[in-house]
Chain A
Amino acid sequence: MVADEPTLARLMAATQKGDKAAGNVLLSEVGLWLERYFRRRVPPHSIDDLVQDVLIAFYTKRATWDTSRPFLPWLAAIARYRWVDHLRKVYKHESKELMEDDAVEDSEEEVVLARVSLDRLFGQLPEKQAEVIEMVKIEGLSIREASKKTGQSESLVKVNIHRGLKKLASMVEKAD
């Protein structure tokens, strides 16, 4: 069970003062909290890397927590920032790949965007963009197959995926 807000806040205050024991307990608890946080946002095999990434960011930026403010929203803001950064890297990778190659290969990173709260986010995309992202990025169809299935030209499929992914990343980034 993950510790509650007052306990985490107390541990954090002690960690800021240099208490190593508190720091150890806090980082372990934060690790568990992050695991739950990312479980709904990224594929299982990416969770541990992201958790470790956020733990390092958390430790490095521990001086930015204000003891008069709640701890968990601060932690959530850091987690979301690192998550968005992760998405940005994935997006760059996706864009490059779309421009270079017709065939869509499976990669660890591709799956990330496809699983990011898609139901909720897809509702905010134009239908044509959501449709081709779903076909190519989730069902694994090639650009050509998606083109035949939707009646959109291959170039249009690429453009719609490109714009749709960009919009998705931007929606995630702007969501407070």
Chain B
Amino acid sequence: MTSSNNREALIASLTQDLEPVARVKPAHGVMLIGFATLIAAAASIAGFEFWTGMLTGEASGFFWISNGLLLMVGLASTAALVSNALPRVGSRGDAPEWSALMLGVLPVAAILTLLSVESGHEHAGFFDSALWYWPCAAASLGAGLLVGIAAVLFLRRGAPVSLERSGWLTGLAAGALGTLAYGITCPLDTIGHVGITHIVPVAIAAVIGRLVIPSLIRW
């Protein structure tokens, strides 16, 4: 059989059962990831209780800044992620990278602040127990897992052509949105805590995403 005949036979077998398909739309991905974030937030509230401090005015500025930045990173990486799920060539936006860099300012600010406190001989600083309260990081990663699963489900429906970038973006989105979802239950709002303990999970999730996701979404 010639290669031309082979191809014709392949085409005939492919189109034999051709049926209408529902288009994969980036908006579906946004909704799925948004829904997973809400579920993660609900699960966090069920497990740790909603922190009312943000309604009573008790929350510090650091709380709002960190969660606002997490939301921005989550939105930017989700937007890039869902757009990445459809094959395309040409330039791509670098908003997730820049927003992640902006988020990186927080731990730097936290460390500088803590160093200043140390040199001033105050009692908190690096010895502040809230700073090393790592269950927050673990719970954030758990919440991020839900977001990550949603992102992978969407990417598997799509056809990402840049697997490594999709891996990074999934990790970033999962880490940022998961930490945000958990963050509404966390009453610890010092710069040391939100700047380090709530940012480390994003970095960890991004690395895990880069390492694990490509093999899950290869097609």
A-to-B contact residues, CB < 8 Å: 15-20, 23-24, 27-28, 31, 48, 51-52, 55-57, 59-67, 69, 73-74, 76-78, 80-81, 85, 176
Q: CA separation between A171 and B8, bound complex, in Å?
A: 34
Is B12 an interface residue, CB under 8 A from the partner? yes
In angstroms, how far is the closest chain A Cβ from the Cβ of B64? 37
Known interface pairs A77-B87, A77-B89; A64-B14 also in contact (CB < 8 Å):
no
Q: Which residues of B contact A (CB under 8 A)?
A: 3, 6-8, 10-12, 14-16, 18-25, 85-92, 157-159, 161, 218-219
Q: How far is the CA of A23 from the CA of B13 in the complex (A)?
A: 11
What's the Cα separation between A145 and B100 when bound, in Å?
50
Whether the pair A55, B24 counts as a contact (CB closer than 8 A) is: no
Q: Are B11 and A64 in contact (CB under 8 A)?
A: no
Which chain B residues border A48 with CB–CB below 8 Å? 3, 6-7
A124 to chain B, nearest CB (A): 20
12 contacts between A and B (CB under 8 A): A18-B20, A18-B21, A20-B15, A28-B11, A56-B10, A56-B14, A60-B219, A63-B157, A64-B86, A69-B88, A78-B161, A80-B161
B88 touches A73 (CB 8 A): yes
User: Shortest Cβ distance from B151 into chain A, in angstroms?
Assistant: 16
| Alpha-carbon gap, A56 to B16, bound state (A) | 13
Interface centre among B14, B19, B25, B157 (most CB of A within 10 A): B14
Does the CB pair A55–B7 fall under 8 Å?
Answer: yes
Question: Within 8 Å CB of A19, what residues of B?
Answer: 18
Decide: B89 and A176 in contact? CB cutoff 8 A.
yes
Pick from B6, B18, B20, B89: contact of A80, CB below 8 A.
B89
CB distance from B28 to the nearest CB of A (A): 11
Return the contact of B14 from the options A27, A76, A77 (Cβ within 8 A).
Answer: A27
Q: Which residues in A have their C-beta under 8 angstroms from that of B20?
A: 16-18
Name which residue of chain B comes closest to A51, CB basis. B7
Seed contacts A15-B18, A52-B10; 7 additional CB < 8 Å A-B pairs: A20-B18, A27-B15, A56-B14, A59-B14, A64-B23, A66-B25, A74-B88
- CA gap between A176 and B90 in the complex, in Å: 5
Contact status A63-B15, CB under 8 Å: no
Given A63-B24, A66-B23, A55-B89 contact (CB < 8 Å): no
Decide: B87 and A23 in contact? CB cutoff 8 A.
no
Interface pair A81/B161, CB less than 8 Å apart: yes
Please name all residues of chain B whose beta carbon is closer than 8 Å to the beta carbon of A52 when the two chains form the complex. Answer: 6-7, 10
Which of B6, B7, B8, B158 has the most chain A CB atoms closer than 10 A to its own CB?
B7
Q: How far does the Cβ of A42 sit from chain B's closest Cβ, in whole Å? A: 14
Write the nearest CB–CB distance from A116 to chain B, whole angstroms. 17
Contact B158 A64 (CB under 8 A): yes
Closest to B158 in A: A64
Is the Cβ of A78 less than 8 Å from the Cβ of B23?
A: no
- A24→B87 contact, CB < 8 A: no
Contacts A20-B15, A51-B7 given: A176-B85 contact, CB under 8 Å?
A: no
Cβ–Cβ < 8 Å partners of A27 in chain B: 11, 14-15
Question: What residues of B have a CB within 8 angstroms of the CB of A74 in the complex?
Answer: 86-88
Q: Which residues of chain B have C-beta atoms less than 8 A from A65's C-beta?
A: 23, 86-87
